Amino acid sequence: MKVAVVGATGLVGTKMLTVLAERNFPVTELIPVASERSVGKEVEFKGKKYKVVSAADAIAAKPDVAIFSAGGSTSLEWAPKFAAAGITVIDNSSAWRMDPSKKLIVPELNADALTKEDKIIANPNCSTIQMVVALNLLHKQYKIKRIVVSTYQSVTGTGVKAVTQLMNERKGTQGEMAYKYPIDLNAIPQIDVFLDNGYTKEEMKMVNETRKIMRDDSIGVTATTVRIPVIGGHSEAVNVEFEKEFDLEAVKKLLTETPGVILVDDPAKQLYPMPKDAHEKDEVFVGRLRRDETQAKTLNMWVVSDNLRKGAATNAVQIAEYLLQQGLL
């Protein structure tokens, strides 16, 4: 497979190269793509150096698949050009996620919706991915009525600039700010811009994407997303109300059977998921399972995952793997 990675020099793009190598995706030729100022730089893949090229040169090279992680404006401009050349695009930006003509895919849940005609496939938001993976089989068994989610998100979700800000503050040195406020020893209850309804764009992504991925517009979702001084993964406190009654032991059993989920739930031994344990892992970790004692048929859970891997790079590569297995590439 000839594979283009668009945004190959960024945090997620670099992680995509790592994941492609780790999962032994059959890359016969890698075409790393970045902005004009990065053209000519080199990236390493499986011990070999590759020169970064422009998007136009990448299209001319005719890759089988192009995995994009270069921001929404780049995707809006270039994904249709790649698709028009017959190249399948898997896009990690928010550009196409809510486009009714594009599929929004988490392979464990809805890869079966993909066809050969899907030339631009959207990769969901990182915080949405880990939540829906955790809720997948529970929704099938008990039917979700409403989700209340609060997130505790890693600075890596913002990018290199935010990681640098955190490390600078930790060392007490001045530097460029990714956020309006200090992030070290702080929590910032704003991710992305505010919308007219008082929610942030990130919060509304979780609402709209969850319904689209789970193919159920009746699910009520309300979210509060918070940036915290953590590197390694996003954490979420999820309160989920079901239509059917559940047994807690049956829930635990279902979670152990859920593709992509690892249950870490032993309060007696103080075992629960933490971002430092999810770092560089592809799974979604779930723990702190307990009934909501104020409301019937309602479960509290804690969900943690590496946002650069399952929340971005790994999910995109898994989509490519599925397309390949099904002969859709």
Strands (E), 139-279: 144-153, 220-227, 234-242, 261-263
- Is 69 in the active site? no
Write down the catalytic residue from 205, 212, 227, 234.
234
**Which of 16, 126, 286, 312 is labelled catalytic?**
126
Give which of 326, 39, 304 is closest to 153, Cα–Cα.
304
3-state helix, strand, coil in the chain (%, to 5): 35, 25, 40
C-alpha to C-alpha distance for 137 and 132, rounded to whole angstroms: 9
Q: How far apart are CA 46 and CA 91, in angstroms?
A: 23
- Whether 126 sits among the annotated catalytic residues: the reply is yes
Angle at 301 between CA 300 and CA 302, to 5 degrees: 140
Locate 211 and state its tokens. 């319904």
Q: Which residues fall within 8 angstroms of residue 28, CB to CB, at 6 or more apart?
A: 1, 2
Query: Which sequence positions are flagged as catalytic?
Result: 126, 234
